[in-house]
Structure 1
Amino acid sequence: MSNVEELAARPLKPALLELAGISRVSVEAHYRLYQGYVAKRNEIVGKLAEVDRSAANQVYSDLRALKVDLTFAIGGVKNHEVYFEHLGGPGGDPTGAFRALVERDFGSVDAWRADLTATGLAARGWAWTAYDWDEGRLLNLLGDAQNTFPVWNATPLVALDVYEHAYFIDYQTDRAAYIDAFFENLDWGVVNGWVAAYGVPS
């Protein structure tokens, strides 16, 4: 992996510092966590360039430890980049192509929101609305850690971080109130842009 370039953290959008119900202090702390995932990804990639591959072992080896932790760091980067990118909007109900997908696959916006909220309350780390390319539909999926991605061949379109670091400063243990605030800050223009860019069929 010696030819893999270092990543740079994406800049924090100014709109994220003025969210409704999610404080600037919380967002800035959360963003620093994301920067830490980027730094660790780069550090691990550097160590993999020098690791002894002849000592690889499934019980324990430096290669195994680095490879497992790389998935966690990369997950932390990718999940947070989706999360931060689609916040900073007017929130409310979905619009456009994404709304049409929601109504088709969940029956109504209310049913989709209720299911994603319940998924977020049940998860230990993340809840996503992702388009499953094999099933040809949206699914609300749960992940307990940064490296439990939605599923293979599914594209996240909404990423709800429910680790305590996302809400504890503002809501302590009231995760449900934080989830409500999350919905009120989504930018449906960004989400619909992804639907178009990925060619998600309606």
Structure 2
Amino acid sequence: MEPKPLPFTGSLHGISDKAMEIHHDKLYAGYVKKKDEIAQKLQPLERGGDLASANQTYSELRALKDGETFAVNGVYLHEWYFDVLGGNGALTGPLVEALAMQYGSVENFVAYFSACGMAARGWCVLAWDRHDKALRVYTGDAHNQGGVWGCMPVIVLDVYEHAYFIDFGSDRKAYIEAFWKNLNWEKANELFEMAKR
């Protein structure tokens, strides 16, 4: 698998080209590489390899499966994060209407989501929960922790330090404010409509 290119052109507001280059071209590309490497190592086991040593304390299979969820989610979460960047933050569309209805106002939603981003160690995700048939905000401290099965991400915010430290130092709040200025609501609406189908 090849890393996907950034889905937007030009510079972001407040998030430097250098930060985005390191984030996308090194970190994200590294997850893509590890995802493929793990898949190659799993292939012989999936096709009749020696599975006798499988064990919940430690085994090659356990280590690979643990690494697999970390790498795969590292790829997918970054792709959803990049997908909603590159806009001008202009509020439009059915997602905005749904957020206003559910949270009382879009401002309330942004405040709540931003606070969740401050509270999380890794990710903050607005997702369509297919079980509840509702929008939910979930957080994760690692790629393979905090995700809820049956939920489709709509807006994904990376709050690991690598996402903001170059531009904002330890000021995560300023980074989250910049994220909202760069949000592509058109793309978020598209993801919302797809998730509900």
**Bucket of the pairwise TM-score, normalised by the shorter protein:** over 0.9
- In structure 2, the partner of 1:18 is 11
Instruction: State the TM-score, normalizing by the size of structure 1.
Output: 0.91
Consecutive unaligned residues of structure 1, counting only runs of 5 or more, are: 1-6
Is the aligned partner of 1:136 residue 2:113?
Answer: no
- Relative to structure 1, the CA distance from residue 199 to residue 138 in structure 2 (aligned partners, 3 Å threshold; closer, same or farther) is closer
Instruction: Give the percent of matched residue pairs that are identical in Structure 1 and Structure 2.
Output: 45
- Relative to structure 1, the CA distance from residue 168 to residue 97 in structure 2 (aligned partners, 3 Å threshold; closer, same or farther) is same
Is the aligned partner of 1:63 residue 2:57?
Answer: no
| 3-state SS of 2:189 partner | helix
| Count of matched residue pairs | 192
Distance in 2 between the 1:101 and 1:13 partners? 25
Distance in 1 between the 2:69 and 2:185 partners? 29
After TM superposition, give the deviation of residue 150 of structure 1 in Å: 2.9
- In structure 2, the partner of 1:88 is 86
Q: What RMSD in Å do the two structures reach over aligned CA positions?
A: 1.3
After TM superposition, give the deviation of residue 57 of structure 1 in Å: 0.4
Q: Does the CA-based 8 Å contact 1:75-1:149 persist in structure 2?
A: no
- In structure 2, the partner of 1:3 is none
Distance in 1 between the 2:163 and 2:2 partners? 22
- In structure 1, the partner of 2:29 is 35
Q: Does the CA-based 8 Å contact 1:125-1:146 persist in structure 2?
A: yes
- In structure 2, the partner of 1:48 is 42
Consecutive unaligned residues of structure 2, counting only runs of 5 or more, are: none
Question: Which amino acid in the other structure matches residue 110 of structure 2?
Answer: R
Q: Does the CA-based 8 Å contact 2:138-2:147 persist in structure 1?
A: yes
Question: Which amino acid in the other structure matches residue 186 of structure 2?
Answer: G
Distance in 2 between the 1:149 and 1:34 partners? 19
Instruction: State the TM-score, normalizing by the size of structure 2.
Output: 0.93
Distance in 2 between the 1:172 and 1:74 partners? 28
Question: Which amino acid in the other structure matches residue 87 of structure 1?
Answer: L
Alignment of 1:1-202 (within 5 A): 7-15=1-9, 17-31=10-24, 32-51=26-45, 52-92=50-90, 94-199=91-196
Greater than 4 Å deviation, 4+ residue runs: none
